[in-house]
Structure 1
Protein backbone atom coordinates (compact mmCIF):
# COMPACT_ATOMS: atom_id res chain seq x y z
CA UNK A 1 0.00 0.00 0.00
CA UNK A 2 1.24 3.47 -0.93
CA UNK A 3 -0.05 6.90 0.02
CA UNK A 4 0.00 9.57 -2.68
CA UNK A 5 -0.36 13.29 -2.06
CA UNK A 6 -1.80 14.90 -5.17
CA UNK A 7 -1.51 18.69 -5.20
CA UNK A 8 0.12 21.35 -7.31
CA UNK A 9 0.05 23.72 -4.33
CA UNK A 10 3.25 24.08 -2.32
CA UNK A 11 1.25 25.30 0.70
CA UNK A 12 -0.65 22.01 0.81
CA UNK A 13 2.59 20.02 0.71
CA UNK A 14 4.07 22.18 3.46
CA UNK A 15 0.87 21.86 5.53
CA UNK A 16 0.97 18.06 5.24
CA UNK A 17 4.58 18.00 6.39
CA UNK A 18 3.98 20.52 9.20
CA UNK A 19 1.00 18.53 10.49
CA UNK A 20 2.99 15.28 10.41
CA UNK A 21 0.74 13.57 7.86
CA UNK A 22 2.59 10.75 6.13
CA UNK A 23 2.65 10.18 2.38
CA UNK A 24 4.98 8.12 0.23
CA UNK A 25 4.94 10.14 -2.98
CA UNK A 26 3.94 13.65 -4.03
CA UNK A 27 2.33 14.11 -7.44
CA UNK A 28 1.33 17.47 -8.91
CA UNK A 29 -1.37 15.82 -11.06
CA UNK A 30 -3.07 12.45 -11.11
CA UNK A 31 -2.90 11.61 -14.79
CA UNK A 32 -1.66 8.03 -14.67
CA UNK A 33 -3.90 5.61 -12.80
CA UNK A 34 -1.63 2.70 -13.81
CA UNK A 35 0.72 3.50 -10.92
CA UNK A 36 -2.11 3.02 -8.39
CA UNK A 37 -3.09 -0.32 -6.88
CA UNK A 38 -6.08 -1.45 -4.86
CA UNK A 39 -5.43 -0.55 -1.23
CA UNK A 40 -3.45 2.59 -2.07
CA UNK A 41 -4.65 5.93 -0.70
CA UNK A 42 -4.75 9.26 -2.52
CA UNK A 43 -4.82 12.52 -0.55
CA UNK A 44 -5.86 15.72 -2.31
CA UNK A 45 -8.69 17.98 -3.41
CA UNK A 46 -9.91 16.05 -6.41
CA UNK A 47 -13.07 16.53 -8.45
CA UNK A 48 -15.75 14.00 -7.53
CA UNK A 49 -15.49 12.13 -10.85
CA UNK A 50 -11.79 11.45 -10.22
CA UNK A 51 -12.55 10.32 -6.67
CA UNK A 52 -15.11 7.90 -8.16
CA UNK A 53 -12.47 6.62 -10.61
CA UNK A 54 -10.23 5.86 -7.62
CA UNK A 55 -13.01 4.00 -5.84
CA UNK A 56 -13.63 1.93 -8.97
CA UNK A 57 -9.98 0.80 -8.71
CA UNK A 58 -10.17 0.04 -4.98
CA UNK A 59 -8.07 3.09 -4.09
CA UNK A 60 -9.01 5.07 -0.96
CA UNK A 61 -9.47 8.84 -0.98
CA UNK A 62 -8.74 11.41 1.72
CA UNK A 63 -9.93 14.91 0.88
CA UNK A 64 -8.00 17.99 1.98
CA UNK A 65 -11.04 19.93 3.16
CA UNK A 66 -11.22 23.62 3.94
CA UNK A 67 -13.54 26.56 3.43
CA UNK A 68 -11.81 29.33 1.53
CA UNK A 69 -13.31 32.81 1.90
CA UNK A 70 -14.01 34.65 -1.32
CA UNK A 71 -11.13 37.12 -0.92
CA UNK A 72 -8.61 34.23 -0.84
CA UNK A 73 -10.01 32.19 -3.73
CA UNK A 74 -7.69 31.74 -6.69
CA UNK A 75 -4.62 32.57 -4.61
CA UNK A 76 -1.82 30.31 -3.49
CA UNK A 77 -2.25 29.64 0.23
CA UNK A 78 0.56 29.00 2.67
CA UNK A 79 0.64 26.18 5.20
CA UNK A 80 -0.08 28.78 7.89
CA UNK A 81 -3.13 30.05 6.02
CA UNK A 82 -4.39 26.48 5.58
CA UNK A 83 -4.08 25.95 9.33
CA UNK A 84 -5.97 29.19 10.04
CA UNK A 85 -8.70 28.03 7.66
CA UNK A 86 -9.02 24.82 9.70
CA UNK A 87 -7.82 22.54 6.91
CA UNK A 88 -8.28 18.85 7.66
CA UNK A 89 -8.12 15.46 6.02
CA UNK A 90 -11.45 13.69 5.67
CA UNK A 91 -12.05 10.20 4.31
CA UNK A 92 -14.77 9.97 1.67
CA UNK A 93 -16.34 6.97 0.02
CA UNK A 94 -17.50 7.97 -3.44
CA UNK A 95 -19.19 5.70 -5.91
CA UNK A 96 -20.50 6.22 -9.39
CA UNK A 97 -24.19 5.41 -9.83
CA UNK A 98 -25.05 4.22 -13.31
CA UNK A 99 -28.58 4.63 -14.61
Structure 2
Protein backbone atom coordinates (compact mmCIF):
# COMPACT_ATOMS: atom_id res chain seq x y z
CA UNK A 1 0.00 0.00 0.00
CA UNK A 2 1.34 3.38 -1.01
CA UNK A 3 0.25 6.88 -0.08
CA UNK A 4 0.47 9.57 -2.75
CA UNK A 5 0.14 13.31 -2.13
CA UNK A 6 -0.96 14.99 -5.37
CA UNK A 7 -0.57 18.75 -5.73
CA UNK A 8 1.26 21.20 -7.95
CA UNK A 9 1.32 23.77 -5.12
CA UNK A 10 4.50 24.10 -3.03
CA UNK A 11 2.50 25.49 -0.08
CA UNK A 12 0.37 22.34 -0.04
CA UNK A 13 3.49 20.15 -0.08
CA UNK A 14 4.89 22.13 2.85
CA UNK A 15 1.57 21.95 4.72
CA UNK A 16 1.40 18.15 4.32
CA UNK A 17 4.98 17.78 5.56
CA UNK A 18 4.35 20.03 8.56
CA UNK A 19 1.18 18.09 9.38
CA UNK A 20 3.25 14.91 9.45
CA UNK A 21 1.57 12.96 6.66
CA UNK A 22 3.61 9.89 5.85
CA UNK A 23 3.63 9.62 2.07
CA UNK A 24 5.69 7.52 -0.31
CA UNK A 25 5.47 10.04 -3.12
CA UNK A 26 4.64 13.71 -3.59
CA UNK A 27 3.56 14.12 -7.20
CA UNK A 28 2.34 17.00 -9.36
CA UNK A 29 0.02 14.97 -11.62
CA UNK A 30 -1.62 11.60 -10.95
CA UNK A 31 -1.34 8.73 -13.40
CA UNK A 32 -4.29 6.54 -12.29
CA UNK A 33 -2.52 3.47 -13.72
CA UNK A 34 -0.13 3.66 -10.74
CA UNK A 35 -2.92 3.18 -8.22
CA UNK A 36 -3.35 -0.24 -6.62
CA UNK A 37 -6.03 -1.56 -4.26
CA UNK A 38 -5.37 -0.33 -0.73
CA UNK A 39 -3.37 2.73 -1.82
CA UNK A 40 -4.26 6.17 -0.48
CA UNK A 41 -4.37 9.28 -2.65
CA UNK A 42 -4.40 12.68 -0.94
CA UNK A 43 -5.10 15.84 -2.97
CA UNK A 44 -7.71 17.97 -4.68
CA UNK A 45 -8.42 15.88 -7.74
CA UNK A 46 -11.00 16.46 -10.45
CA UNK A 47 -14.03 14.28 -9.74
CA UNK A 48 -13.36 11.93 -12.69
CA UNK A 49 -9.85 11.14 -11.39
CA UNK A 50 -11.09 10.76 -7.82
CA UNK A 51 -13.71 8.30 -9.09
CA UNK A 52 -11.02 6.32 -10.90
CA UNK A 53 -8.92 6.17 -7.72
CA UNK A 54 -11.93 4.73 -5.87
CA UNK A 55 -12.76 2.32 -8.71
CA UNK A 56 -9.21 0.96 -8.45
CA UNK A 57 -9.84 0.05 -4.80
CA UNK A 58 -7.85 2.91 -3.29
CA UNK A 59 -8.93 5.53 -0.74
CA UNK A 60 -9.38 9.14 -1.86
CA UNK A 61 -8.61 11.76 0.81
CA UNK A 62 -9.51 15.24 -0.37
CA UNK A 63 -7.52 18.30 0.68
CA UNK A 64 -10.34 20.68 1.56
CA UNK A 65 -10.10 24.42 2.20
CA UNK A 66 -12.66 27.09 3.03
CA UNK A 67 -11.17 29.48 0.49
CA UNK A 68 -12.46 33.06 0.26
CA UNK A 69 -12.84 34.50 -3.25
CA UNK A 70 -9.84 36.83 -2.90
CA UNK A 71 -7.48 33.87 -2.37
CA UNK A 72 -8.72 31.75 -5.29
CA UNK A 73 -6.12 31.20 -7.99
CA UNK A 74 -3.24 32.25 -5.72
CA UNK A 75 -0.39 30.25 -4.24
CA UNK A 76 -1.01 29.83 -0.53
CA UNK A 77 1.49 29.55 2.30
CA UNK A 78 1.09 26.94 5.01
CA UNK A 79 -0.15 29.68 7.33
CA UNK A 80 -2.81 30.75 4.81
CA UNK A 81 -3.86 27.13 4.34
CA UNK A 82 -4.30 26.71 8.09
CA UNK A 83 -6.26 29.99 8.27
CA UNK A 84 -8.55 28.58 5.56
CA UNK A 85 -9.20 25.45 7.60
CA UNK A 86 -7.07 23.03 5.55
CA UNK A 87 -8.10 19.49 6.34
CA UNK A 88 -8.22 16.01 4.85
CA UNK A 89 -11.68 14.50 4.22
CA UNK A 90 -12.24 11.02 2.83
CA UNK A 91 -14.66 10.58 -0.08
CA UNK A 92 -15.94 7.54 -1.94
CA UNK A 93 -16.87 8.52 -5.45
CA UNK A 94 -18.49 6.32 -8.06
CA UNK A 95 -19.17 7.08 -11.68
CA UNK A 96 -22.78 6.76 -12.80
CA UNK A 97 -23.22 5.03 -16.14
CA UNK A 98 -24.10 7.48 -18.94
CA UNK A 99 -27.56 5.99 -19.56
CA UNK A 100 -28.44 6.42 -15.88
CA UNK A 101 -27.11 9.99 -15.83
CA UNK A 102 -29.02 10.96 -18.99
CA UNK A 103 -32.24 9.55 -17.61
CA UNK A 104 -32.05 11.73 -14.53
CA UNK A 105 -31.66 15.03 -16.44
Question: TM-score, structure 2 length as denominator?
Answer: 0.89
CA RMSD of aligned residues (A): 0.9
Point out where structure 2 has 5 or more consecutive residues left out of the alignment: 101-105
Deviations 1:51-98 (A, max 9, x none): 111111111100000111111111000111101111000000111121
Structure 1 unmatched runs, 5+: none
TM-score, length-scaled by structure 1: 0.94
Q: Which has the higher contact order (CA 8 A, sep 6+)?
A: 1
Aligned residues: 98
1:4 is aligned to 4
Q: Which runs of 4+ in 1 moved over 4 A?
A: none
The superposition leaves residues 17-59 of structure 1 with CA deviations (integer Å, 9 ceiling, x where unpaired) of 11112211011011x2222211101000011111111111111
